[in-house]
């Protein structure tokens, strides 16, 4: 009988559960069974897989990534720099005010709606609660209005914290067990998942894009490779998220098995899946070990550029013909978003001028 590889409980119809190779929350489609029990799966879902989603919520939200049989990707809050106010970044990249009701002063409130009908409804429900106030009615709200001091919050392009790296270790294990189903080649599984130093390692790497397709609004991929080397006695996995974030995951440093290289790639927008034909060897990733933190950081700036450009453009296209009432990336407040503006930003993004922006930070860590 199969056992949960984390807690060793026998897997039955009741205790067995479906495990996604990469978390479903960031758009991975394929699930496998017979690896974790329901309880362990739920525990990881709430902890390390949730950390994974939080870390990649920005690309997942803007790209509105593909998820089967599930709720939409939740929006994310962009907080004001000066107060606790926020606006919503919704799936697909559109931006919405947090509330259609804005308090201007003690007795003046401003209500926003897209149509007269919606506005009447809003006004009626509002005056039921507050009868002694003056209401400014704003119809056909074209601006993405926000209070004067709004700015978008800085979006961090983090590669992840230790929980994210643990979730990646789990993904690599699950992928390995799906392909090979020889648990003893992954040593000390529960210890690795608990983050105890058990010979396993995961860290971000600087490497060329694994899925060779250029990043566009229709092609952004999650890709996972599993590489075993008899000569180097290593079993490792390379995971690439959103065609941009790459990680090296060491599963066994004393691997007694045969050479192998298998891959799986999935379009996070369409859900289309396939196996890549390119094969890698452990040696292909060896150069990365000698890079300094500065070199890694610079490499990361370069790697994120195409994805950053795509996400910026998706957001800007949603804002076409609207006036920006807050600063978005490099565009000043009050700018009307025209196609010309979008093209200008598009061209400017090919240069390195925004390299020193604060959202380009690399959070290097390993477990
Ligand atoms: Zn279990």
Q: Same domain, yes or no, for 267 and 206?
A: yes
The alpha carbon of 281 is separated from its chain's Cα centroid by a whole number of angstroms, namely 27
> Please, which residues have CB within 8 angstroms of residue 194's CB and are 6 or more apart in sequence?
none
Whether 118 and 300 have beta carbons less than 8 Å apart is answered as no
Instruction: Indicate yes or no: pTM above 0.85.
Output: no
Domain boundaries, position 284:
149-367
Q: Same domain, yes or no, for 125 and 182?
A: no
Q: Same domain, yes or no, for 272 and 191?
A: yes
| Domain final residue, candidates 138, 171, 196 | 138
Q: What is the distance in A from the centroid of ligand 1 to the CA of 320?
A: 50
pLDDT at 152: 44
Whether 56 and 172 have beta carbons less than 8 Å apart is answered as no
Q: What is the distance in A from the centroid of ligand 1 to the CA of 191?
A: 13
Triad 83, 97, 268: Cα angle to 5°: 105
Q: What is the distance in A from the centroid of ligand 1 to the CA of 29?
A: 22
| Domain final residue, candidates 108, 138, 168 | 138
Q: Same domain, yes or no, for 116 and 242?
A: no
pLDDT at 329: 59
Q: What is the distance in A from the centroid of ligand 1 to the CA of 3?
A: 8
Neighbours of ion ligand 1 (CB under 5 A): 4, 6-7, 37, 40
Instruction: Let me know if residue 278 belongs to a domain.
Output: yes
Q: What is the distance in A from the centroid of ligand 1 to the CA of 176?
A: 18
The alpha carbon of 286 is separated from its chain's Cα centroid by a whole number of angstroms, namely 26
Tokens of 47: 């902890």
Whether 144 and 324 have beta carbons less than 8 Å apart is answered as yes
Q: What is the distance in A from the centroid of ligand 1 to the CA of 7?
A: 4
Type and span of the H or E element at 103: strand 101-105
pLDDT at 356: 37
Q: What is the distance in A from the centroid of ligand 1 to the CA of 225?
A: 25
Whether 299 and 206 have beta carbons less than 8 Å apart is answered as yes
pLDDT at 264: 95
pLDDT at 80: 63
Radius of gyration of the chain (CA): 24
Q: What is the distance in A from the centroid of ligand 1 to the CA of 122?
A: 50
CA-wise closest residue to 314 among 256, 367, 242:
242
pLDDT mean values, one per 10 residues, the chain (367 residues): 85 84 89 89 93 92 85 79 71 79 73 74 80 63 40 66 90 89 70 64 89 93 95 93 94 88 94 92 85 86 88 82 67 78 69 39 40
Triad 247, 249, 250: Cα angle to 5°: 150
Alpha helix positions (H), the chain: 38-46, 48-55, 57-63, 116-129, 162-179, 189-193, 293-318, 339-348
Q: What is the distance in A from the centroid of ligand 1 to the CA of 60?
A: 28
Q: Same domain, yes or no, for 239 and 339?
A: yes
Q: What is the distance in A from the centroid of ligand 1 to the CA of 271?
A: 29
Q: Same domain, yes or no, for 226 and 341?
A: yes
Instruction: Let me know if residue 69 belongs to a domain.
Output: no
Q: What is the distance in A from the centroid of ligand 1 to the CA of 37?
A: 4
Number of structural domains, the chain? 2
CA-wise closest residue to 195 among 365, 5, 33, 11:
365
pLDDT at 63: 93
CA-to-CA separations, 187 to 52, 172, 250, in angstroms, rounded: 23, 13, 11
Q: Same domain, yes or no, for 111 and 172?
A: no
Instruction: Let me know if residue 239 belongs to a domain.
Output: yes
pLDDT at 197: 60
């Amino acid at each position: 009988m199969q056992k949960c590889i984390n807690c060793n409980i026998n897997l039955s119809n009741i205790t067995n559960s479906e495990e996604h190779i990469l978390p479903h929350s960031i758009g991975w489609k394929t699930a496998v069974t017979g690896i974790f029990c329901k309880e362990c799966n739920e525990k990881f879902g709430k902890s390390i897989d949730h950390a994974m989603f939080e870390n990649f919520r920005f690309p997942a939200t803007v790209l509105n990534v593909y998820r089967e049989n599930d709720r939409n990707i939740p929006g994310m809050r962009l907080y004001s720099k000066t107060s606790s106010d926020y606006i919503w970044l919704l799936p697909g990249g559109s931006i919405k005010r947090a509330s259609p009701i804005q308090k201007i002063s003690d007795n003046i409130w401003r209500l926003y709606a897209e149509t007269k009908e919606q506005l009447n409804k809003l006004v009626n429900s509002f005056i039921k609660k507050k009868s002694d106030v003056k209401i400014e009615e704003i119809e056909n709200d074209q601006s993405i209005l926000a209070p004067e001091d709004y700015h978008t919050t800085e979006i961090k392009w983090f590669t992840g914290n230790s929980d994210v790296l643990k979730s990646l270790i789990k993904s690599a294990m699950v992928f390995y067990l799906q392909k090979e189903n020889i648990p003893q080649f992954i040593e000390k599984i529960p210890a690795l998942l608990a983050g105890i130093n058990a010979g396993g390692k995961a860290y971000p790497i600087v490497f060329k894009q694994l899925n060779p397709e250029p990043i566009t609004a229709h092609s952004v991929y999650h890709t996972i490779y599993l590489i075993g080397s008899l000569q180097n006695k290593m079993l490792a996995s390379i995971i690439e998220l959103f065609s941009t974030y790459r990680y090296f995951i060491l599963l066994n440093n004393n691997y007694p098995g045969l050479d192998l290289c298998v891959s799986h790639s999935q379009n996070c927008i369409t859900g289309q899946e396939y196996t890549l034909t390119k094969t890698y060897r452990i040696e292909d990733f060896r150069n990365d070990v000698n890079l300094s933190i500065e070199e890694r950081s610079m490499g990361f700036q370069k790697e994120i550029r195409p994805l950053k450009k795509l996400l910026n453009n998706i957001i800007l296209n949603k804002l076409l013909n609207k006036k920006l009432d807050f600063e978005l990336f490099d565009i000043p407040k009050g700018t009307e978003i025209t196609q010309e503006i979008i093209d200008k930003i598009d061209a400017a993004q090919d240069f390195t001028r925004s390299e020193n922006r604060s959202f380009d930070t690399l959070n290097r860590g390993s477990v």
